[in-house]
């Protein structure tokens, strides 16, 4: 019997409907009305069967695979490798060969540092690409196991600026994945490479890039007891370091504005730490607010219009928010404890901060108006410097536990705590604008001074960011535009 | 008229519709092919999981064999007794006429063989302990014809007795002698009977003893085997668990590290253990009908594993975080018999988010990097059309 074995649903229903009218037939011969009723019933039953059959036929013809028997075998791929993608980045084409080669090097270095790409050695390349607009011989690139290929050309634009064009190819399928023409100022030639790197990164990972960014940090020189701390800025890859202060005053905790080319930081004037604001383009520096006591731990709001910080009052400190335009300030917490390190969530609706109100330093979250304060960290040790991810899904923090300082992340509700890096002294995490990479500073035991490092959210890819001297307190800029 | 017409039309149409449905429902039945293939695949047992299953099945088969043995022996041990005791009564009667009539002689010959067969049984038993279960079977067969023969013989004997009595009456002179001889014969018979009874009893006792010994031995063996089995199973379990743990560590890479300084909380290796448990649950070859759907299922699982192991090793999962946890890519692959893709993979759930495109492309790269797939050509029907669900959620 085929019926019991047949999987489709409609068939049994139709079959079930059929016998009933058949059994009704003998009765129908007696009463005419009943017969008409039965006939109508029959017609409707018939219609049902036909519709069901049609639906079934359609289902067969459609894409949806039958559940069992005739359907294709389904295989779940739930694990992949975390190996970097082999990518071929030949020298750019262009009149100035040195410049074109340098660009390719910067691009390759960017992608390599992300930990997600493995730029292939150019000596292994079989095909010499001369023309950006010709289709590469993919077999040549497959032969060296490249999965992606970036072909680019760079040169001077008509306006004197720099112009670069690139195409990103998928070597295995031979499809072009991305292609664009980019421009940059003559002095910013490295940006061309960073911009291409962002495009490649975004297309292949689905995440926003973070290569065309800068990092402000504290440059530390001199002996340990008379350390000269200066505000400095550089590209995210460590190039183009520029000093922003002369080192006469002690500066700490610089923070980048998410929207403008401004930095807020802490500077000691005399014995009193005060929060300042620095415009990177004009170099203008100004005091934020006019509070009687010390102000510290500043941070911008996501819209760049407000600064949130701590003000000291005797042995305690509270969190205040100041509007940069109206200069109006608003107190958000008030207690006898030390509330500090405030940071907005990317939607500006919540604030995470640290407080010792329960005895030791822990992390708390409150609404933007100061209501609904509640503790989110419950692990052993002391939590500090919370930073909300630009994606909003995580909060990074420094944690002091068991004689070591570690950098960790947790969800805004306090769950899913995970340690990314751990050691003698790690501190001050800052998010790259894509919320996937963190920078922090580390001082090894007996290292003499701190260094900058970056680590991605997986915890696998930890890299030192090369700086000319000791450096600390990094703050990542938003993507430049 | 009209009504009749409508009815007939409707009935015809309904029948037609039913037929159409039936034809459609018949279509999937053409895929009854998997069954023969599945049976083919059992015998090789090349894959470890299948092999493990068959091992336990053999052991389980060995147990039922042992348990029926005592039962058969017990049931059949008493049977031979009635058979053995039954023949002697007919045997004594014929001997009287036997001397006068040539006919009764055959019965004389018959009883001894009947008495004899039980004797060889014990003789057979000691050498072949394991065959103990087998001899009773042939022994069980003869009794049926023997009884019938006995009945016939009895009837014949009764007739002969009557004739003999008549003859006895006629031959009174010889009678006494005959009676004396009869008595002697009866005595001899009794002796014989007693002897046979004693022999039978002895035999029975011996058999019982042997059977008891056998049973004991079997039970001991069983226990020993069971103990060994348990040990083996436990060892296997431990091995499997260890392997599973090893496998787990090697295969399941978490995309997110947790570098805790003190607590290196070992992750529970649940999924693989569970897999192993379910795979080792029942005897794979123990299905009464032999047409086990598990086989085709496991066969499909093997095919899936071949594809999975390659694709997973080639799938570069990039990125991470929130978007990764909500992005799945479903690809449909159509293969040529040589293991190469017959056409571009078809994206079953196209979307346009950057993350989807990235996962899709990485999935496509993995699928293409695995060409040609080393899949068994004999099972082409099963893997010519395959759907891959790429889901990076577990990694984050």
Per-domain residue ranges of chain A: 87-205, 214-476
Q: Residues A387-400: pLDDT tens digits?
A: 999 988 899 999 99
Q: In what order do the strands lie in the sheet with A470-476?
A: A242-243, A228-235, A214-221, A470-476
Cross-chain Cβ contact A459/B257 below 8 Å: yes
Whole-Å CA distances, A335 to A274, A349, A353, B12, B324: 21, 22, 13, 88, 41
Give the closest-approach CA distance of B285 to chain A in angstroms: 22
Cross-chain Cβ contact B389/A75 below 8 Å: yes
- Residue-level pLDDT at A68: 46
Enclosing H/E stretch for B296: helix B293-314
Give the closest-approach CA distance of A335 to chain B in angstroms: 33
Give the one of A22, A78, A205 whose C-beta lies nearest to B318's C-beta: A205
Give the closest-approach CA distance of B395 to chain A in angstroms: 7
CB burial of residue A374 (10 Å; 0-12, 13-18, 19+): exposed
Cross-chain Cβ contact B318/A72 below 8 Å: no
- Residue-level pLDDT at A108: 93
Residue B86 domain-assigned (yes or no): yes
Query: For testing the chain B interface, which of A26, A205, A402 should be mutated: the one with the most B CBs within 10 Å?
Result: A205
Residue B241 domain-assigned (yes or no): no
The residue in chain A having the minimum alpha-carbon distance to the alpha carbon of residue B8 is A39
Of A42-46, A293-297, A315-319, B388-392, the range with the lowest mean pLDDT is A42-46
Round to whole Å and give the CA distance between A410 and A420.
11
Residue B264 domain-assigned (yes or no): no
Count structural domains, chain B. Answer: 2
Cross-chain Cβ contact A77/B13 below 8 Å: no
Cross-chain Cβ contact B24/A56 below 8 Å: yes
Which residues span the domain enclosing B376?
A: 294-395
Give the one of A14, A205, A458 whose C-beta lies nearest to B358's C-beta: A205
**Residues B76 and B182 both lie in one domain:** yes
Enclosing H/E stretch for B34: helix B34-42
**Residues B206 and B341 both lie in one domain:** no
Of A292-296, B92-96, B289-293, B389-393, the range with the lowest mean pLDDT is B289-293
Give the one of B21, B28, B361 whose C-beta lies nearest to A70's C-beta: B28
Structure confidence at residue B30 as a pLDDT band (50, 70, 90): low
Distance in Å from the first CA to the final CA of chain B: 74
Chain A environment of B350 (Cβ under 8 Å): none
Give the one of A14, A65, A202 whose C-beta lies nearest to B21's C-beta: A14
Cross-chain Cβ contact A79/B320 below 8 Å: no
Cross-chain Cβ contact B259/A70 below 8 Å: no
Round to whole Å and give the CA distance between B259 and A423.
10
The residue in chain A having the minimum alpha-carbon distance to the alpha carbon of residue B381 is A72
The residue in chain B having the minimum alpha-carbon distance to the alpha carbon of residue A18 is B14
Q: How many interface pairs between A and B have CB atoms less than 8 angstroms apart?
A: 240
Chain A environment of B383 (Cβ under 8 Å): 73
Contact criterion met (CB below 8 Å) for A334 and A373: no
**Residues B208 and B90 both lie in one domain:** yes
Give the closest-approach CA distance of B358 to chain A in angstroms: 5
- The tokens for A130 are 């001369």
Contact criterion met (CB below 8 Å) for A389 and A396: yes
Number of Cβ within 10 Å of residue A103's Cβ equals: 27
**Residues B186 and B300 both lie in one domain:** no
Question: Is the model's pTM score more than 0.90?
Answer: no
Round to whole Å and give the CA distance between A205 and B311.
18
Mean pLDDT of A242-271: 86
Mean pLDDT, chain A, whole residue set: 82
Q: Which of B229, B254, B286 is the last residue of a domain?
A: B229
Chain B environment of A391 (Cβ under 8 Å): 321-322
Query: Predicted ipTM?
Result: 0.70
Secondary structure of residue B87 in the 3-state scheme? coil
β-pairing, A85-88 with A117-119?
parallel
Q: Which of B175, B202, B229 is the last residue of a domain?
A: B229
Cross-chain Cβ contact A79/B312 below 8 Å: yes
Give the closest-approach CA distance of A79 to chain B in angstroms: 6
Give the one of A69, A82, A391 whose C-beta lies nearest to B28's C-beta: A69
Residue B324 domain-assigned (yes or no): yes
Residue B145 domain-assigned (yes or no): yes
**Residues B140 and B224 both lie in one domain:** yes
Cross-chain Cβ contact B10/A42 below 8 Å: yes
Chain A environment of B360 (Cβ under 8 Å): none
- Residue-level pLDDT at A48: 54
Round to whole Å and give the CA distance between B358 and A206.
5
Q: Which of B214, B229, B244 is the last residue of a domain?
A: B229
CATH number of the domain where residue B337 is located: 3.30.1150.10
Top-ranked range on mean pLDDT: pick from A59-73, A161-175, B56-70, B157-171: A161-175
Q: How distant is the alpha carbon of residue A102 from its chain centre?
A: 27
- Residue-level pLDDT at A480: 85
| CATH number of A87-205, picked from 3.30.200.20, 2.40.10.10, 3.30.470.10, 3.40.50.10070 | 3.40.50.10070
Q: Residues A82-116: pLDDT tens digits?
A: 788 899 999 888 888 888 888 899 999 999 998 88
| CATH number of A214-476, picked from 3.40.720.10, 3.40.50.300, 3.10.20.70, 2.120.10.30 | 2.120.10.30
Cross-chain Cβ contact B316/A81 below 8 Å: yes
Give the closest-approach CA distance of A70 to chain B in angstroms: 6
Give the closest-approach CA distance of B257 to chain A in angstroms: 5
Cross-chain Cβ contact A173/B362 below 8 Å: no
Residue B74 domain-assigned (yes or no): yes
- Residue-level pLDDT at A293: 79
Residue B164 domain-assigned (yes or no): yes
Secondary structure of residue A112 in the 3-state scheme? helix
Round to whole Å and give the CA distance between A437 and A418.
15
Round to whole Å and give the CA distance between A478 and B306.
45
Residue B37 domain-assigned (yes or no): no
**Residues B82 and B206 both lie in one domain:** yes
């Amino acid at each position: 019997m085929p019926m019991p074995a047949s999987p489709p649903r409609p068939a049994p229903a139709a079959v079930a409907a059929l016998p009933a009218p058949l059994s009704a037939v003998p009765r129908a011969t007696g009463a005419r009305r009943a017969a008409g009723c039965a006939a109508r019933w029959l017609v409707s039953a018939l219609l049902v069967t036909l519709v069901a059959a049609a639906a079934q036929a359609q289902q067969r013809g459609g894409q949806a695979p039958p559940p069992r028997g005739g359907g294709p075998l389904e295989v779940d791929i739930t694990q992949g490798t975390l190996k970097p993608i082999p990518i071929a980045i030949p020298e750019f084409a262009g009149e100035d060969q040195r410049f074109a080669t340098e660009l390719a090097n910067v691009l390759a270095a960017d992608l390599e540092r992300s930990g997600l790409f493995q730029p292939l050695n150019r000596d292994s390349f079989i095909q010499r690409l001369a023309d950006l607009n010709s289709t590469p011989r993919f077999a040549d690139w497959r032969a060296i196991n490249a999965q992606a290929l970036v072909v680019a050309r760079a040169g001077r634009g008509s306006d004197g600026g720099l112009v670069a064009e690139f195409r990103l190819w998928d070597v295995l399928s031979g499809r072009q994945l991305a292609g664009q023409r980019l421009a940059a100022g003559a002095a910013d030639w490295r940006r061309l490479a960073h911009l291409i790197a962002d495009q490649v990164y975004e297309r292949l990972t689905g995440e926003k890039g973070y290569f065309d960014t800068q990092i402000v940090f504290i440059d530390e020189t001199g002996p340990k007891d008379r350390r000269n701390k200066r505000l400095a800025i550089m590209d995210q890859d460590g190039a183009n370091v520029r000093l922003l202060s002369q080192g006469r005053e002690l500066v700490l905790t610089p923070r980048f504005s998410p929207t403008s080319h401004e930095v807020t930081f802490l500077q000691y004037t005399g014995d009193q730490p005060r929060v300042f604001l620095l415009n990177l383009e004009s170099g203008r520096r100004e005091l934020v607010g006019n509070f009687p006591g010390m102000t510290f731990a500043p941070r911008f709001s996501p819209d760049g219009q407000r600064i949130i910080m701590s003000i000291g009052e005797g042995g305690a400190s509270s969190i205040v928010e100041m509007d940069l335009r109206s200069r109006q300030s608003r107190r958000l917490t008030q207690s006898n404890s030390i509330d500090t390190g405030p940071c907005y969530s990317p939607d500006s609706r919540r604030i995470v901060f640290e407080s010792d109100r329960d005895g030791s330093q822990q992390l708390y979250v409150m609404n933007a108006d100061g209501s609904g304060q509640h503790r989110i960290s419950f692990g052993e040790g002391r939590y500090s410097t919370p930073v909300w991810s630009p994606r909003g899904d995580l909060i990074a923090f420094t944690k002091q536990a068991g004689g070591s300082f570690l950098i960790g992340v947790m969800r805004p509700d306090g769950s899913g705590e995970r340690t990314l890096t751990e050691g003698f002294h790690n501190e001050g995490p800052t998010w790259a604008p894509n919320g996937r990479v963190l920078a922090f500073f580390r001082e090894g035991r007996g290292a003499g001074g701190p260094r900058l490092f970056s680590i991605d959210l997986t915890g696998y890819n930890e890299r030192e960011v090369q700086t000319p001297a000791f450096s600390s307190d990094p703050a990542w800029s938003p993507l430049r535009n | 008229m009209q009504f009749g017409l409508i009815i007939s039309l409707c009935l015809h149409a309904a029948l037609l519709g039913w037929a159409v449905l039936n034809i459609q429902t018949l279509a999937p039945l053409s895929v009854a092919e998997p069954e023969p293939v599945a049976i083919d695949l059992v015998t090789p047992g090349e894959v470890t999981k299948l092999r493990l299953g068959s091992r336990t099945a053999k052991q389980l088969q060995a147990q039922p064999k042992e348990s029926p043995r005592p039962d058969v022996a017990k049931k059949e041990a008493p049977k031979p007794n009635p058979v053995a005791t039954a023949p002697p009564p007919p045997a004594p009667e014929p001997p009287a006429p036997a001397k006068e009539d040539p006919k009764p002689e055959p019965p004389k010959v018959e009883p001894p063989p009947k008495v004899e067969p039980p004797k060889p049984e014990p003789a057979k038993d000691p050498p072949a302990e394991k065959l103990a279960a087998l001899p009773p079977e042939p022994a069980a067969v003869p009794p049926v014809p023997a009884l019938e023969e006995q009945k016939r013989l009895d009837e014949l004997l009764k007739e002969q007795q009557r004739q003999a009595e008549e003859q006895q009456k006629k031959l009174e002179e010889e009678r006494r002698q005959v009676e004396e001889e009869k008595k002697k014969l009866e005595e001899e018979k009794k002796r014989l009977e007693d002897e046979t009874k004693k022999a039978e009893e002895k035999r029975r006792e011996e058999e019982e003893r042997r059977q008891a010994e056998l049973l004991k031995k079997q039970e001991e063996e069983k226990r020993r085997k069971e103990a060994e089995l348990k040990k083996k199973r436990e060892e296997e379990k431990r091995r499997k668990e260890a392997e599973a743990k090893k496998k787990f560590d090697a295969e399941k890479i978490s995309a997110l590290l947790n570098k805790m300084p003190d607590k290196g909380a070992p992750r529970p290796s649940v999924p693989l253990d569970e897999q192993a448990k379910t795979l080792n649950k029942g005897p794979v070859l123990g299905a009464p009908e032999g047409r086990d759907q598990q086989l085709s299922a496991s066969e499909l699982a093997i095919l899936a594993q071949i594809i999975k192991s390659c694709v997973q090793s080639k799938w570069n999962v990039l990125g991470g975080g929130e978007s990764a946890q909500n992005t799945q890519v479903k690809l449909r692959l159509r293969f040529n018999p040589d293991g190469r893709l017959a056409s571009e993979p078809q994206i079953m759930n196209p979307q346009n988010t950057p993350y989807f495109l990235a996962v899709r492309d990485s999935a496509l790269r993995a699928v293409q990097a695995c060409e040609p797939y080393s899949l068994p050509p004999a099972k082409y029907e099963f893997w010519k059309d395959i759907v891959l669900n790429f889901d990076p959620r577990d990694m984050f």
